[in-house]
Amino acid sequence: MQIVGAVLERSGAPAPFAQSKPFTVGPLELDGPGPGEVLVRIEAAGVCHSDLSVVDGNRVRPTPMLLGHEAAGIVEELGHGVDDLAEGDRVVMTFLPRCGDCPECATDGRLPCRVGSAANGLGLLVGDHRRLSRDGEPVHHHLGVSAFASHAVVSRTSVVRVDPDVPPEVAALLGCAVLTGGGAVVNAGRPREGDTVMVVGLGGVGMAALLVAVALGFEVIGVDALADKLDAARANGAAATYAPSELTGVRAPVVIEAAGNARAFETALAATAPGGTTVTVGLPAPDARASVSPLTLTAEARTVVGSYLGSAVPARDIPLYVDLWRSGRLPLERLVSSRITLHDLDVAMDRLAAGGELRQLIVLDERTHL
């Protein structure tokens, strides 16, 4: 079938992207779902730093590539063997498919699936399949999803069904921002009753961590270099906010680093209380290096935890966040800072790089066309 999508033509294009224009929006060919796969009509897709990291070259991926890994949509066709979904179901799309058989899949979300990670790195779906092409030439998948398009074919293990009352703009956020930020709190940080949770870096993932921690009843401290992010944190329930330079003497038992740079990691580590846990979910450049005092870790009995996708098991965790949203305790709509179209992606990446956005959401419908 023919679809419409935004293809990243090359990685490492110079900023501003509004001028270098690394994306091309146009028609593509999408094969139908194979065994164990699902065809989804995309309703909403979020723009995340993991997308930007491919655009700016910090994450090496094969191109041309159809980006987008945080999305929700409607099931339109089921591949052979998929018998636990139905056409018309709304699904959340997640960016780490799981084979269910490798040793990593047996770690309850702590480690990324070996098979899924390998496929993601090659721009393929699980099983080494590619369903995208353009003018007869292959187009690579992004993290098993490729959601910057009208439709996507994905592995069944990349989607989680949600009830129809969950609107697509909320469902899309569950696939990355909330799984990653919320999971950093729930699965990796594991605060105890009475603990304070500090979040360093208040972008989409960090603000999601803040919202989840507040929804679970914890006192939260927000940290960011941008004043408007601190204002948003207070509006979203933070008990206190600080710029990094103001943190002297302020510490917390659970500190989440969600900025994705070495200085933020050092800030988070320094702000972790004795006996506490520093959780890092940000993805810095591969050559980034941070300074750590091993003596401090030992003398203060502290723990540092790396958490990929919030150490999540999506089928287990997404229903938790849906229940919190449905109860009114988790206002995920507040994460949406802008609504855009596929044609706005070049500018959207500039906005994201400037740090002024939480989640820019691409909203699509059945009339999406060139």
The pLDDT confidence band at residue 366, using thresholds 50, 70 and 90, is low
pLDDT in tens, 109-127: 999 999 999 999 999 999 9
Whether residues 157 and 191 fall in one domain: no
CB atoms within 10 A of CB 201: 30
Single residue among 292, 307, 322 that ends a domain in this structure: 307
On whether residue 122 sits in a domain, the answer given is: yes
Q: What is the mean pLDDT of residues 225-246?
A: 97
For position 7, which CATH number holds? 3.90.180.10
Whether residues 339 and 290 fall in one domain: no
On whether residue 281 sits in a domain, the answer given is: yes
On whether residue 312 sits in a domain, the answer given is: no
User: Of all residues in the chain, what percent carry a pLDDT higher than 70?
Assistant: 99
| Cα separations in angstroms, 3 against 6, 36, 90, 367 | 10, 21, 19, 11
Instruction: Round to whole Å and give the CA distance between 318 and 298.
Output: 35
On whether residue 349 sits in a domain, the answer given is: yes
Q: Residue 370 pLDDT > 70, yes or no? A: no
For position 188, which CATH number holds? 3.40.50.720
On whether residue 172 sits in a domain, the answer given is: no
Whether residues 27 and 118 fall in one domain: yes
Predicted confidence at residue 288, as pLDDT, reads 93
Q: What is the mean pLDDT of residues 64-75?
A: 98
Whether residues 196 and 269 fall in one domain: yes
Whether residues 239 and 114 fall in one domain: no
On whether residue 347 sits in a domain, the answer given is: yes
Whether residues 159 and 185 fall in one domain: no
What pairs with residue 27 in β-bridges? 4
Whether residues 303 and 359 fall in one domain: no
Whether residues 37 and 101 fall in one domain: yes
Whether residues 123 and 186 fall in one domain: no
Domain that holds residue 250: 181-307
Predicted confidence at residue 367, as pLDDT, reads 64
Residues with Cβ < 8 Å from 150, sequence gap 6 or more? 3, 4, 5, 41, 42, 364, 368
Q: Where is average pLDDT lowest: 5-9, 97-101, 185-189, 253-257?
A: 97-101
Total number of domains in the chain: 2
Q: Residue 368 pLDDT > 60, yes or no? A: no
Whether residues 288 and 340 fall in one domain: no
